[in-house]
Homo-oligomer: A and B are copies of this chain.
Amino acid sequence: MKKKIITISREFGSGGRTIAKALATRLGIAYYDKELVKQMAIDTGLDQQFVSDESDYAPSKSIFAYNLQEGMLGGLCAADILWDVQRKVILQLADKEPCVIVGRNADYILRDRTDCLNAFIHADTSFRSERIVRLYGTTEKTPEERLKDKDAKRRINYKHFTEKEWGMSQNYHISLNSGVIGIDKCVDIIADLFTGQSNLK
């Protein structure tokens, strides 16, 4: 079966999003990230900024505060509702057209499809620290704390909903260290796997 979807999971600051965007542009296929969040927000009726903050991370204090504020909906907490909507939107997008989907546990959500190429992008702390400061500026936290915090949230979120370990090679078809291999080369490798599919089944 030909691959028509690429999912990109990534450590914070590894350049996974940049790689995903470059892949979508090069391959001429759709890219879903903010667009996905927007669609989710429309479907849930939840506040868009809230969805953007919470959809890729572990259930946090703010989501519990949201529950207290808004109450439970049909016995489900906001995190469960968000997961259901996220799952539904991703399944719809995958059915709709070839695309690149960043984060949001798409590798797991689409696990029953045989036309997905699942990639995980990671890099050493020093590479990622330099990159987030350059791209997003400094904050009151050290870059290392910011990486640890965001990665922990993604790890907990993945474990909570998939019962699998975030970052385990076996969850993905290809995992790449973007710091050592280079962001452009990561794009080359994944694009080549997607287009030169004689060896993909």
Contact = CB atoms under 8 A, between A and B. Distances in A.
A91 interface: no
Given A174-B176, A174-B177, A185 B199 contact: yes
Main secondary structure of the interface of A (DSSP, over half): mixed
Given A167-B168, A168-B167, A168-B168, A181 B173 contact: yes
B173 A169 contact: no
Interface string A162-201: 0001011110111111001110110001000100000111
Nearest to A11: B170
Interface of A: 11, 120, 122, 165, 167-170, 172-177, 180-182, 184-185, 189, 193, 199-201
| Leading 3 A-B pairs by shortest Cβ distance | A182-B199, A169-B175, A185-B199
13 contacts: A120-B169, A122-B169, A167-B170, A168-B168, A169-B175, A170-B177, A173-B176, A173-B181, A174-B174, A174-B176, A181-B199, A182-B200, A185-B199
Given A169-B175, A170-B177, A172-B175, 19 more contacts: A11-B170, A120-B169, A120-B175, A122-B169, A167-B170, A168-B169, A169-B169, A173-B176, A173-B177, A173-B181, A174-B176, A174-B177, A175-B175, A180-B200, A180-B201, A182-B200, A182-B201, A184-B199, A185-B199
